[in-house]
Every structure is written in structure tokens, then in C-alpha cells.
Chain A
Amino acid sequence: MKLKKSTLTIFAIVCGLLMIAPIYFLVVGAFKTPDTVFDLSLHLSNFTFDNIKQVFSETNIVRAIVNSLIVSVTVTVVAMLIHAMAGYALARLNFPGKTFTFGWIISTLMVPFSVIMIPLYMVVQNLGMANSYLGLIVPMIFNAYGIFLFRQFYLEFPKELEEAAYVEGLSIAGTFFRLVLPLSKPIIVPLTIGFFTANWNNYLWPMIINQKEELNVVQVALANIVGGGYETEWSVMLAAALISAIPTFILFFIVQRHLVEGVKTTGIK
């Protein structure tokens, strides 16, 4: 039995290494001179910080990172709260029109973004949110994915806990906020990763809705450095991609430590 576990460990780590192998290209390429960027070896003589420096000198990347943080964190936090509420209502509470509401919410997942881009612009423009943080944030909060996953989680959530709370005289809302929500960490963690990453990497929507340079998010700012013209500076592009991925990497390391134990195993005791 012991041996088997170590075989599994080795297998998993080897697969993991294969998964990150393509990223090696990104990391190494970001520190190479433009003419050696396609050479995958690690010659120290070709090592340079110029690409990184160029990214920092050609655009106000710090400002763009701050903007992206504001947008992604706000969207994620607000989305977690209201999606959890909706998911809980759909999983646990009985009310007229439940099945229809659920079906309707799921159906909003099924439209390709490129199709609703024009009317969405129209809505946001008419609400006076274009060229502001609100225009970047508010439309991105509403997404059936989170509601769907929270509902799934609460369907399997142990009922006994809530019943105990009702006996103690807590209202439904009180039970949810004081008891259920804090125990929802196992699902909040993956969803935080998903929402933050999706919004951090969002490019199309911010590009369309915002014209103000001071509100540029990371992806737009980086596209402005490497895009345009007829030549692509691969080394700079990879450096830009690496910089843009680092905050997400950091988030992964921070939050996924919390992805350890389930509700049933910790909550009941």
C-alpha cells in the first residue's frame, strides 16, 4: 500500500511537470534578447531584463495593474456574495417559479459574447457607465456560472446544520449569512480563482467600453505595447504576458491553501 502511494505521487508530479512545461517557454522567452527568443536553451549570455524594462517604460503598467486589481477584486467579491445568495435560494428555498427561474438563469450562459457585445455596449452607454470603473465592473458581475455552481454545492450541503440553527430561532437569512456562507469556503475558493482569473484576463470588453487611458486595465495596456504595426516583438510580448500572469499566480498560491477540507468533515463536529 505504501509503495502504491509513492508511485501515484511520482505519476502525479510527472504529469504536473508536463502541464507546466509549455510555461517554461514563456518564462525563459521573457528574459531573452529578441533574436534568441526562439532558442529554448538556457544560455546565460542571452539573459536580459530589457524586455521587462521595456514593458514598464512604455506604458503606465503599475496604474494598469491597480485598475485591473480594482476591477477583478470588486467583481469577484460582489459576485461571490450575490451568487451564493441566489444559489442558496435555488437549492434550498421553496418559492413559486423556482424551476423556471433556474432554467432562465442557466440559459443566459448560452449566448456567445460576440453576439451581445453591441447591445451590451448600448445598455452600459445609456446607464452612463462607459469610460468609468462601473462600466468595467458591473456588467461582469452577472454570470450564471457562479450561481449554478453554488446551487450545486448547496444541494449537497448537510441539512442538519441549518435545522439546528432554526431550532435556535435564527431566520433563514440569518442562518445563511451566519452559518452557511462561512462554511461555503470549499466552493468559494475555486470560484474565486475562476472569477478573478477570467476578469484579470478580460480584454475584449474593457477594450470596447473604455477610451480613457487612465482607466486602462492590464490586458489592454499590454496589447497596446505589443500590438499594432507589422512586427511582433516576441520577447517583449512574452515579458508582458509573464507580468500579467504573476498576480494570478500569487492568488493561486494564497487561496488554494484553503482548499483542504470539506464541510461535512469539518462542519458537523
Chain B
Amino acid sequence: MKRMKKNRRKRNEVVTAYAFLLPNLVGLTVFVFFPMIYAFYVSLHDWNALSPKVFIGFDNYIEMASDKRWWASVGRTFLFTLIYVPALYCLSLFFAVILNNLKQKYQSIARTMFLLPFAITSVISAVIWMFLYDPRNGVLNQFLSSLGFDKLEFLGSTNQALVSIVAVILWINIGYNMIIFMASIKEIPKDYYEAAKIDGASAWRAFRSITFPLLRGTSTFILIVTMIASFTVFDQIMVMTSGGPASSTEVSVLYIYKQAFEFLNMGYASALAVILFLIIFILSLAQLRLYTKKG
């Protein structure tokens, strides 16, 4: 009797699971997965979007192997990710912990201030920062020279442009990731901390032995999602430098966009996108594995 009930329950569970997933699976298949497969299909063709496709097998992939500009853009994407992801992770977690310790009133004010940049469209935030970064009259340089430092070129320099763009994208996204961390910190029962306090643990110790480990799930989520986002970053770079100066900010998606829509090499661009997808996929998988293994 009990077993029958359990079996029915199990069947019920499977049916409910599929029913819950169905709308998403249908939608994602039609609006994301099918276009992805189509992009792969296009990658086996020579296609300029305007005239019929010509099947050329894996020629696009062969061509890619010797495309120095592509591999340089992949290198820049990795560099961008290596700066952006740790910075975003640390800063948003840092401020989440700080804000969490404030009184409700101040916490709410500070949270709103951190979140406001997220409300502004990426194009407009890029424009605002172009003004702040201006080599001659920009606010940042005025500030630097008032402190007696040399002026910086920011977006006009091949060394500083990428980092300057990272700073803008951090500015936009810190607040949002911070509130996701905060939502998660709120789930940690307060008595854990009280117990730690009684044991005489310092704040840093409490963070290391309670907060940080309990946030591991959220951390993995943020790290994976941020990594994917940084591999597909586009808008702000397009507006601020369109890949310049002298290609120093030409990341992979920018190059794919150029191949696709400026040169109209749709087939080749799709092949590049397929490879970029594989790179991101492998990295995400590795991160997920790392997470489940430890757990």
C-alpha cells in the first residue's frame, strides 16, 4: 500500500516536472535552439545574406585556423574575462556584505544608489563615460591633474582602452549582482553568526567560515553567468571604441559582428560563433564540474 503510493507519487513527480518544463522547452527550442542550429547550418556555407547560400563544407573552419585577427580577438576576450569576472565577483560580494550590515534605512538608500546605473541603457552609459574619459576636458583627467598626476588617454590609448571599458561595465553591473548576493545572504540563518560571535570569531572569520561557503551556489551561478556575459560583450565596446584604437579592444563578438554585418560574410561569421560557443561551453562545464565535485 505504502509502496504503491510512493510509486504514484514518483510518476506524479515526473509528469509534473515535464509539465513545468514544457513551456520553456518549447520556447527555447523555437526561439533560441533552432536559430543556433541554423547558425551552424549557415557556417557550412558561403553566404552574403543577399544571394543564395553555397555549400562549402568545413572550409570556413579551415580558413579560421589561419585567421590571425580572429585568434587575436579571442585572446583579447580571454584578457577581458580575466579582468572583468574576478573584479565583478569580488566587488559585488564585498558591497553585498557591507550593505547587509547596515541599518535597514541606510541599506535601502545605498542599495538604490548602487542599482541606479543598471537602469540606464548600455548605449547611454557608454556615451556618459566617453565624456568622463575625454583625454583633454574629461572630468577624470581634470581630477587627476588637480591631484598633480599626468593626464591619461583612456579610450584613446591602446594600453588603457580595454581596462577603461571593463570599468564601465563593472559600474553598470555591480549593483545588480550585489542584490543577488544580498538575496542569498538573507537566507543564511542569523543564529549561525550569533554562535560565531559567542565563540569570539572576528568578522572576517565569520565571513570566511559562514558566509562564503554558504554562498557557494550563488557564487557559481554568478561566475558562470558573468563569464558568459563577458565572452559575449558587445554594446558598450561598439559605442565607445568600435574595436579601436588600432584593434586593441576588438573582442570576439565584435569581430563576428564585423564579419557578419559589415563584410556580409554570414557563413564565416557563423563558423566563428560556433567556435566561440564551444569555448564558452567547455569553460562553463568546467566551472559546473568544479562546483559539483567540491559539493
Contact = CB atoms under 8 A, between A and B. Distances in A.
Are A and B in direct contact (Cβ within 8 Å)? yes
Interface of A: 5, 8-9, 11-13, 15-17, 19-20, 22-23, 25-26, 38, 40, 82-83, 85-86, 88-90, 93-96, 98, 101, 103-116, 118-120, 122-124, 138-139, 141-142, 144-145, 147-149, 152-153, 155-156, 171-173, 176, 186-187, 189-190, 193-194, 197, 201, 203, 219, 237-238, 241, 244-245, 248-249, 252-253, 256-257, 259-265
B148 to A, nearest CB: 21
A103 B281 CA distance: 9
B285 to A, nearest CB: 8
B12 A171 contact: yes
B127 A237 contact: yes
A172 B16 contact: yes
Interface of B: 10, 12-14, 16-21, 23-25, 27-28, 30-36, 38-39, 42, 49, 95, 98-99, 101-104, 106, 108-125, 127-129, 131-132, 137, 139, 171, 174-176, 179-180, 182-184, 186-190, 217-218, 220-221, 224-225, 228, 231-232, 234, 253, 256-257, 260-261, 266, 269-270, 273, 276-277, 280-281, 284-285
A119 B101 contact: no
A223 to B, nearest CB: 9
Contacts of A172: 12-13, 16
Contacts of A263: 187
B39 A115 contact: yes
A85 B13 contact: no
Given A22-B171, A107-B281, A253-B112, 18 more contacts: A5-B102, A22-B132, A93-B16, A96-B14, A98-B17, A101-B21, A110-B277, A112-B273, A116-B36, A116-B39, A123-B35, A142-B30, A156-B187, A201-B121, A241-B127, A257-B108, A263-B187, A265-B189
Contacts of A40: 139
Most chain A beta-carbon contacts within 10 A, residue among B27, B218, B281: B27
Contact of B34 (A113, A119, A153, A252): A119
Nearest to A116: B35
Contact of B260 (A105, A114, A237): A114
B273 A118 contact: no
B269 A86 contact: no
15 contacts: A5-B102, A12-B95, A12-B98, A13-B113, A19-B117, A85-B23, A93-B20, A106-B224, A115-B39, A115-B260, A116-B39, A123-B35, A156-B217, A186-B183, A252-B112
A89 to B, nearest CB: 4
Contacts of B103: 5, 9
A86 B27 CA distance: 12
B120 A26 contact: yes
Nearest to B119: A248
A173 B9 CA distance: 12
B122 A259 contact: no
Contact of B115 (A148, A187, A193): A193
A85 B20 contact: yes
Contacts of B36: 108, 111, 116
B79 to A, nearest CB: 18
Contacts of B118: 193, 197
Contacts of B253: 112, 114
A260 B104 contact: yes
Given A22-B132, A106-B284, A237-B127, A114 B234 contact: yes
Contact of A264 (B32, B111, B187, B220): B187
Most chain B beta-carbon contacts within 10 A, residue among A88, A118, A145: A118
Contacts of A155: 217
A119 B43 CA distance: 13
Contact of B119 (A109, A186, A245): A245
A252 B21 contact: no
Given A12-B99, A93-B20, A252-B119, A25 B186 contact: no
Contact of A138 (B31, B122, B188): B31
B24 A142 contact: yes
Most chain B beta-carbon contacts within 10 A, residue among A12, A108, A109, A186: A12
A141 B266 CA distance: 26
B184 to A, nearest CB: 8
B183 A189 contact: yes
